Structures are given as structure tokens and as C-alpha cells.
Amino acid sequence: MREKVIVLMSTYNGMAHIQEQIDSIFGQVYDGEIEILVRDDGSKDNTVSFLENYPKTELRKIVVQKGENVGPQKSFLKLIKDAETADYYFFADQDDVWLPNKIERGVSFLRDEKKAAVYCSNYTITDGVLNVKAEAFIKTTPLFTPIKALLFNQVPGCCMAFNRSMMDLLKRINIDNVMMHDSMLLSLASYVGSVKYDCRPSILHRIHGNNVVGYGHKKIVLHKWIVEKIRLLVNREPYDISKMADQFIRLNACDAPSLYQKDVELLRDYKKNYKKTIQLLKHPDSHDIPWDRTTLSIRCKILFHLL
């Protein structure tokens, strides 16, 4: 019986680059079934029409869901909830180009894993017309722990794949918003399962003016940064990492305690009192690049219980 891969893709006004991406996914050397499950996040262009009319075969299919604009986090959570049974799942952006062996290589890392497992790879950065800017963007192997992966995820979701056991866990998580779906996946995998890292790039990751998220860290413009944090104090983020950590712990309640049990309990409890808050701020995994904008923003959010 052939293996089945489901590629989860959220689209929004993607006509500029989506044909190259779909072509690269259906052109994989993988000989199993590939289904692209698309949730369109309220596109105003011809993205949906293009996808619905893209040629399909028995082993290469597209399923399109049309929805209102809810943003990438919620859109990918909806895709996770709606995905049918498959052997493996891959996240995909609408504007990248996959290298021909991305699926086969990802599956090879996961094929012998019975427990929940995630595969993630390095990636090549390009400009809007695929001129290479960085051949292998990740220079050192990331640290995959629940806190580090959640707060400072270095691997974008478009470089991730996971097995059916991992999907079964994701479907049991009862939350409707997260910081990002990919950081949640890596954090959960490092807590209850395993993360397999591939130093070889698997995609051409296109960076252009319309990306929802990009790479790198902007320098802080102090007055703008302060205004941004004041606004967050008034209008808090719609997600809560302490509630997510509680869900993680409930998922693992019947199994042996994780190596990172205390870390996830700290994520769950850090808002209960400032002793716990300071413990999280002192935890080595809550630090990243000194004086980096992302690092300072994350630590500010921890201090004021904004995560």
C-alpha cells in the first residue's frame, strides 16, 4: 500500500508565486500519494480559482477550503483540525520552491519513528525571483527544547514535517490561537516526542515584500519599541502560552514524565507569581542573542505576563 503525504498550506493572494510552489510539490521524486490541503484565508485575487483548476492525478491531488481571513496562526490550526489520516504531514508556504527530494528526505527521517516525531531542515534564502542570498541559512544546529523552541524558534514551519502520531497529539490540543503553529509543534515534539534535524536545505525560501514573516531581526528604534509594548499592555495578545503548556502536560499525563517536565510546568505556572516569572527569565533557554530585538521583546512579554 502506498504511503500518503498531506501538505498543509494556507494561502492569501498568492497568485504571484503559487504555481511555482505547486509545481515543485507535485514534481517531487517521492512515489507515494501527495495531497495538498489548502485553506484559503480570504484571498481577493485568483488564488482559489487557480488551485481548483490545477491538473490533478490519482497520486497528486489538491483539496481547497475557502474561509474568512483569520491570519496564518489560526488558518494553520484549522488545517490541522481538518486534515484527514495520512502517514506524514508537511507544512508549506504559498511562495517557496521545494527542492525535488524534500518529501523523500523528510519521510526517510520519520519512517522508523513509532512515537510522535518532527523533521525539520535547513533552508536556502532567495529574493523574489529566486536569486540565492544564503545557501544554508541556519549556521548551527538549533536547540530543540520546549522553552527555546516556543520562544525563539529558528526553523520556519515550511521546513517541517511530522508523522501520524504527532498529528494525533495536535488534534487533541484544545486551543484556537497560538504564537505560531510551527513553534507550538516543535515545543510539543521536544516535550513528548523527538525532533530530527537535517542540516541540508530542503527549500528555496523566498523573501519578498509580501511575506507574512521574514528572517533576521530588526534593530530597535527605542521610542517605537516602547510604544509597541505599551500597546501590548492594553491590548494583550490573543494567545496564552501558560494554557498551551497546561495542554501539553495533560497530553502526557499517562506517560512517563518528560526530561523537560519541570520546564513545561514552569511555562504553565510562570504567571502565578513573580517568583515563577523570575525563574523563567533566569532560565537559560529564555535567552537568545543579547540586545536583539526579538530577545528583548520576548523577555519584556514574560516580565509583564503578555505571552
- Calpha distance 276→268 (Å, rounded): 10
For residue 206, pLDDT over 70 is answered with yes
The backbone region for 82, taken as left when phi is positive above 0, alpha when psi lies in -120 to 50, beta otherwise, is alpha
Take residue 62 and report the three cell numbers written for it: 489538491
10-41 pLDDT per residue, tens: 999 999 999 999 999 999 999 999 999 999 99
DSSP secondary structure, 84-103, as one string: ---SEEEEE-SS-EE-TTHH
- Calpha distance 300→222 (Å, rounded): 13
**pTM, two decimal places:** 0.92
**Cα–Cα distances in Å, from 214 out to 206, 234, 247, 262?**
9, 26, 29, 32
Kindly state which CATH superfamily the domain 4-206 is placed in. Spore Coat Polysaccharide Biosynthesis Protein SpsA; Chain A (3.90.550.10)
Q: What's the whole-number mean pLDDT along residues 248-269?
A: 93
Q: Which residues contact 231 (CB under 8 A, 6 or more apart)?
A: none
pLDDT of residue 235: 64
For residue 160, pLDDT over 80 is answered with yes
163-183 pLDDT per residue, tens: 999 999 999 999 888 889 999
pLDDT tier for residue 212 given thresholds of 50, 70 and 90: low
**Cα–Cα distances in Å, from 1 out to 58, 87, 239?**
14, 11, 41
Where do the CATH 3.90.550.10 domains begin and end in the chain? 4-206
Residues 109, 186: contact at Cβ < 8 Å?
no
pLDDT tier for residue 126 given thresholds of 50, 70 and 90: very high
Q: Please report which residue ranges of 46-199 form alpha helices under DSSP H.
A: 47-53, 72-82, 102-110, 146-151, 164-171, 181-192
193-204 pLDDT per residue, tens: 999 999 999 999
Element (H, E) at 129: none
Mean pLDDT of the chain: 92
Among 22-26, 71-75, 256-260, 289-293, which stretch is predicted with the lowest mean pLDDT?
289-293
Q: Please report which residue ranges of 111-221 form alpha helices under DSSP H.
A: 146-151, 164-171, 181-192
* Greater model confidence, 37 or 232: 37
